[in-house]
Amino acid sequence: MKKVLLLGSTGAVGAGCLDVLARCGDISLLIAGRNVARLGTVASAVRADVETARLDITDVAAVAAAVTGCDVVINCAGPSQRFSAGVAAAAIAARVPYVDPGGDDALLEELTAAGTDVPVVLQAGVQPGLSGMLLRVLALHRSDGIDSVTAWCGGLQRLTPASVLEYLGSLHDSRGHPGSALRAGVIRRAGHEECQPPPKQYFADSATVRAHLDAEIAAVAAYLGIGTLCWMNVFDGAYTTRAMQRLALDGERSRGDLHDVLAAARLDLFGRQPYFAVVGTARSNTTATTVAITCPDSYRTTGALLAFAARHVASMPAGVRAFWSVDEPQRALEFLTEYVPEAEVSVVDDPVGDPQSSMIEEGAL
């Protein structure tokens, strides 16, 4: 039986991951964190045999001791900018495979340069992670080639302090290109007219879009040979959008600033159902194929993807890799829909070339 150490299990992503892992009968679970009482409550809610342990992940020696004897370490403690590097280093030093929903390209390259003889999977979240997988699945369904891709990612979700800080960190990633798209292999600013409204089948009328070519999407496009791509982040919630913009412009990250953003998100959600979607359309001269991944809770979806990675990481070759590069992307999506019943994956072919006018569903993955 594989022993998994899960960090951050009392957070939104960690709780989703724990729930999925608890339903996998071949896994022994140890959850660790600073608040033992909360850990006990979380553990008893999912499975009677989940072990708990007190651990401060800023204590390097304590983390090193905790990972020893485990078969896999999953780190859901956020924001990843603060915690991923130290926990990853401890797992690698103990020769224990490591999985993390965060970790930017700088950390990926740092760990790769340092070398490791165990498998490490970073960026196993929704964006990055599921976003890159979407492009790979699109390519699998378009064996005749892809001329261009248009994609949308986002929705209306509750926010956590860690998720806000992760988003702000992505805006300041020097390897990303906010407001940009890929045209004929060249990264350039995306004009307002290029940002297509999100498909009404998956997003509310109140949603707005912003082009954002991050490092993951640029890397996957290069890997697949896609020269023209417009990726748009979707925001639904006027109060949250304004609060996030103020926070990003001011560069402040105090408790009060975060409180304002979280309060705005609750206000936007009042009386509405949360939703999340990642939708991509690949086009050639005559046809278009749309792959859509939908769910009500992006945090639970991230948790399921982490559980998938954890179940397979030990059999992967040694080395550091981003989640999008994991083999068999369709297998990952099948796992997602099996363990997150509300999640759906569909493939739609449109012979006309306008996926929003026809949308004839051919089947699910």
pTM (predicted TM-score)? 0.91
C-alpha neighbours within 13 Å on the C-beta side of residue 174:
1
CA–CA distance, 38 with 52 (Å, rounded to integer) = 10
Residue 353: pLDDT above 50? Answer: no
pLDDT reported for residue 37: 93
Residue 355: pLDDT above 60? Answer: no
**CATH architecture of the domain formed by 130-297+342-364:** 2-Layer Sandwich (3.30)
Token couple for 237: 């919630």
Which range has the worst mean pLDDT, 167-171, 255-259, 271-275?
A: 255-259
C-beta of residue 151 within 8 angstroms of C-beta of residue 281:
yes
pLDDT reported for residue 359: 42
Report which DSSP code applies to 313: G
- Model confidence at 250, pLDDT cuts 50, 70, 90, reads low
Token couple for 14: 């960690």
Residue 69: pLDDT above 80? Answer: yes
pLDDT reported for residue 357: 45
pLDDT reported for residue 249: 73
Residue 116 sits at φ, ψ, to 5 deg, of -155, 145
pLDDT tens, position by position, 94-115? 999 999 999 989 999 999 999 9
Token couple for 316: 């992967």
CA–CA distance, 339 with 337 (Å, rounded to integer) = 6
CA–CA distance, 4 with 223 (Å, rounded to integer) = 32
Average pLDDT over residues 39-46: 92
User: Other CB atoms closer than 10 Å to residue 277's CB: what's the count?
Assistant: 21
CA–CA distance, 342 with 277 (Å, rounded to integer) = 12
Average pLDDT over residues 157-178: 82
CA–CA distance, 262 with 200 (Å, rounded to integer) = 26
pLDDT reported for residue 248: 76
pLDDT tens, position by position, 192-213? 888 999 999 999 999 999 999 9
Which range has the worst mean pLDDT, 118-127, 140-149, 272-281, 348-357?
A: 348-357
pLDDT reported for residue 278: 98
pLDDT reported for residue 251: 57
Average pLDDT over residues 125-141: 95
Residue 358: pLDDT above 50? Answer: no
Which range has the worst mean pLDDT, 20-29, 214-223, 355-364?
A: 355-364
CATH number of the structural domain 2-125+300-330:
3.40.50.720
Q: What mean pLDDT, rounded, does the chain reach?
A: 89
- Model confidence at 289, pLDDT cuts 50, 70, 90, reads very high
Pairwise pLDDT comparison (167 vs 271), residue with the higher score: 271
Which range has the worst mean pLDDT, 20-29, 87-96, 146-155, 179-188?
A: 20-29
What's the gap between Cα 77 and its chain centre?
Answer: 14
For residue 313, give Cα distances in angstroms to 154, 184, 260, 330.
28, 35, 39, 16
C-beta of residue 282 within 8 angstroms of C-beta of residue 94:
no
For residue 1, give the 3-state DSSP assignment.
coil
Q: Where in the chain is the domain with CATH 3.40.50.720?
A: 2-125+300-330
Q: Where in the chain is the domain with CATH 3.30.360?
A: 130-297+342-364
Angle at 351 between CA 349 and CA 354, to 5 degrees: 80
